[in-house]
Chain A
Amino acid sequence: MEEILLNKPGKKIILLGNEAIVRGGLEEGVNFVSTYPGTPASEIGNIFNQIAKKIGVYFEFSTNEKVALEAGIGASFAGLKTLVAMKNFGLNVALDSLLPFCYTGTKGPAVIVVADDPSCHSSAQSEENSRFIAETAHIPVLEPSDPQECKDFVRLGFQISEKYKIPVIVRTTTRVAHQKMPVKFDKITRPGNGVGKFVKEPKRFVTLPPRVLEQKKELLEKIEKIREFSEKSKINFQSDKKNALAQKFPMGIITSGISYLYVMEALKELNLSLPVLKLGFFYPLPEEKIKDFIKNFKKVLIVEELEPYLEREVERLAKDINPKLQIFGKTLLPETGELKPEQVILALAKFTGKKYKKLPITSYQLPKIKHLPRFCPGCPYWSVFAAVKKVAPKDTVFGGDIGCYMLAGTPAIAAQDYLSAMGSSVGIAHGIARTVKKQKTITFIGDSTFFHAGIPALINTVFNKSNPLIIILDNGTTAMTGHQPHPGTSVRTDSEYKFEWDQRDKSLLSPPLRSEEGDPSSLETKERPLQIEKIVAGCGVKNLKVVNSFDLKAIEKAVEEFLPKKETSVIIARGICALLRKHLPK
């Protein structure tokens, strides 16, 4: 990790896409970084968490992505260079604050990294394509293909933001964020003293009608200026200039992001030479450059993952310049799931009419093996789910939420009847509990997820009087994304974080279980400045118990006591994550 701080221009170091994003920020002299962890963006926060103090950058894990973005907006308004990172679903959470940020524009430059996850390798709720945000928010979106471009595009994003006073999104996907290659280093810029100053400019920072409509007009004008920049930008380039200029080819390919690498691989595999237009800008698109590229073609292939955003744009532009152009894209490539190089090879073979020999492997029916992930040995969730399932009536509705405990949906546990977005288990449980008559509703929500989006929903169950049993699984960390701290863990840096655990009630750290139920307050972690039980009580919940996650009897008893209640009940099951326990000083 120290390598990321090496100030040796010209040196090539193997970096993960997310590490290269951090490096890009450091080379631009970023001052202020905020995030909520989410794969495939998590490493960006993890690395800043480790190096921030050393290099003089402010870093925080915020309670959710909306708050992370708002922190970044504030820092930008105060003139600082700001980076905010999140996964695609985080962008949905942040959306409400993102649009006005595009209207007000930036003071200090701001880059927002958004990581999509085609094929849902680490995403439960949907196969989201964040490209939709470009047209909605009128925000420039850059799409790197590899770690080198991750670094370069973050830097370019800051430069565009600085010049045009607008936030810029750098959109990655799993195979970009978790790709490694040697990345060429440039000089690190020291971030200065990091002290901002808010200069009052109400015309700029206040979005209130009628000013907001003027701001929209200004924003659209800005985008047209950035489009001119995009037209000239080297990150929208033709891979094979000589051939393309000669216009010997009746066809070409337009692509961006990870798909560009598969296109180049496919051309090599098929021994083809075709003009390729590689777009680093997704928005605003260099329309003239695209028109110039397609104007003399008979046909063009658009290679992009998920929904056909580029394809539709090319269709629109072709109407103008080359109405007879045949446009291929989703007719040859899938709209669901990430692309694989072999799919692009086949699509390209079909597109060009080049014969491609079928691999011998494709004639076999190959069995697929899938090792299901499961709770780790020593995980506190094993006992919680076992106890709850033992005493809950058969037709109980079990709500799931986002975290390791999603594994309750695997056949071995089978205690998850619905699963949606962060924090939604509680909101949905309210709707179910308000509606069903005899069935009981029990939801599970993790500690970090509770802070992220569970609290407003909990208040709603109390305010609108429904009676789900909400079980908060408090393992003292954001486990699934790599053990990031959250407001219930009180501290921010890695070393302090570990220290905190060392100071805690030792009885919680190790099975065997406590035999007596004990006073719930004895399980309180007094060092925590934000105690979940106090928040829950403050929300007006009367039926509240804190239990040891390893104490099956206590959990069973609490569930039996609370299930008949007519009001909202909350059980906080507290027990440390097994992986975290392994790293604690003995």
Chain B
Amino acid sequence: MAEFNLIINGVGGQGLITLLRIISLASQKEGYDIKTSELHGLSQRGGSVEVHIRFGKKIYSPLVPQGKANLVISLELQESLNGLHYSSPKTHFLINQYKTPTFTKDLSEKEILGIVKKISKNLFLIPASEICQKELGSEVVAGIYLLGLAFSKKLLPLKSDSIISAIKKIIPEKYRELNLKAFELARQSFSSKNLGG
């Protein structure tokens, strides 16, 4: 693998930077060169957030160039549209079926998926927030659940050992079990019924 380009987007407060830390640490464990980019500040207050993670043999730019994303993980449905800039027909989309108002003009689920499919047919819509709330009592770990799915569907070329050990290292003890459970839950649900859209 020459390089892997990942975009994670959502809204402030959904734990994007934690996901970035886990995935970059896991890729470092596997010996890859890594570059990431994130934004801090007012964007935390419920606004659109996007992080870039790139790993491979030698990585220069911390930003994923236009059209070069291998995978887009959207923690909020409408934000998946902001991933399109980085996408090509080969890009996979893993989209949380969870919507928050933009306070400008909202688009319906049907409209959004219609637009995404114009660029890429490799699209999975998963009610991750709902599943995590129902099964684990907390929707905060929806991102980790989607990470588990990305891994199980072989959309993310990292080993489960590296990801699990990164979760253990990065998540504070108080929430560690919950996060590991979310990762495990995604793997089980993938093996029991082939989720997908």
Residues of A within 8 A of B (CB): 12, 14, 16, 39-40, 42-43, 121-122, 146, 174-175, 178-182, 258, 261-262, 264-265, 268-269, 340-342, 345, 359-362, 364, 366-376, 404, 406-407, 410-412, 480-482
Q: Which B residues lie within 8 Å of A369 (CB)?
A: 48, 78-79, 81-82, 102, 107
Segment at the A interface, from B56-64, B140-148, B149-157:
B56-64
When A40-B41, A174-B39, A374-B46 are in contact, do A366 and B88 touch as well, CB less than 8 Å? Answer: no
A268: chain B residues at CB < 8 Å are 60
Chain B nearest CB from A248 CB (Å) reads 23
| Structural contact, B102 and A121, CB atoms closer than 8 A | no
In the complex, what's the smallest C-beta–C-beta distance from A336 to chain B, in angstroms?
Answer: 17
Please judge, given known A-B contacts A340-B66, A371-B78, whether A412 and B103 are in contact too, CB under 8 Å: yes
- Supposing A374-B46, A404-B42 touch, asked if A179 and B35 sit within 8 A by C-beta, the answer is yes
CA distance A436 to B113 in the complex (A): 52
Q: A122-B42, A366-B115, A373-B47 are in contact. Are A14 and B87 (CB under 8 A)?
A: no
* Chain A neighbourhood of B24, CB < 8 A: 14, 180
- Report the bound CA distance from A373 to B2 in whole Å: 37
Q: How large is the interface on B (under 10, 10 to 19, 20 to 34, 35 or more residues)?
A: 35 or more
Q: Are A361 and B45 in touch, CB under 8 angstroms? A: no
- The answer to whether A265 and B65 touch across the interface, beta carbons within 8 angstroms, is yes
Query: B63 and A371: CB pair below 8 A?
Result: no
Interface residues of B (CB under 8 A from A): 11-12, 20-21, 24-25, 28, 33-48, 59-67, 76, 78-79, 81-82, 84-85, 87-89, 100, 102-104, 107, 115, 118-119
CB atoms of B81 and A367 under 8 A apart:
yes
* Chain A residues, Cβ within 8 Å of B21: 14
**A359–B60 contact, CB under 8 A?**
no
**Interfacial chain A residues near B46, Cβ < 8 Å:** 371-374, 376
- CB-nearest residue of chain B relative to A377? B46
Q: Are A345 and B28 in contact (CB under 8 A)?
A: no
Residue of A at shortest CB range from B24?
Answer: A14
Task: Give the interface centre of A39, A345, A369, A482 by most chain B CB atoms within 10 Å.
Answer: A369
* A370-B102, A371-B79 known; A407-B66 Cβ under 8 A: no
Residue of A nearest to B78 (CB): A369
Known: A258-B62, A359-B88, A361-B119. 10 other contacts (CB 8 A): A180-B20, A361-B87, A367-B81, A369-B102, A371-B47, A371-B78, A372-B104, A376-B46, A411-B103, A480-B41
Interchain CB contact under 8 A, A373 and B45:
yes
Give the nearest-CB partner of A40 in chain B: B40
Report the 10 A-B pairs with minimum CB-CB distance, sorted nearest first: A373-B47, A122-B41, A342-B66, A39-B41, A373-B45, A341-B65, A359-B67, A264-B60, A265-B61, A180-B36
CA of A175 to CA of B85, assembled, Å: 18
- Report if A361-B63 is in contact (Cβ < 8 Å); known contacts: A43-B40, A366-B115: no
Whether B42 contacts A373 by the Cβ 8 Å rule is: yes
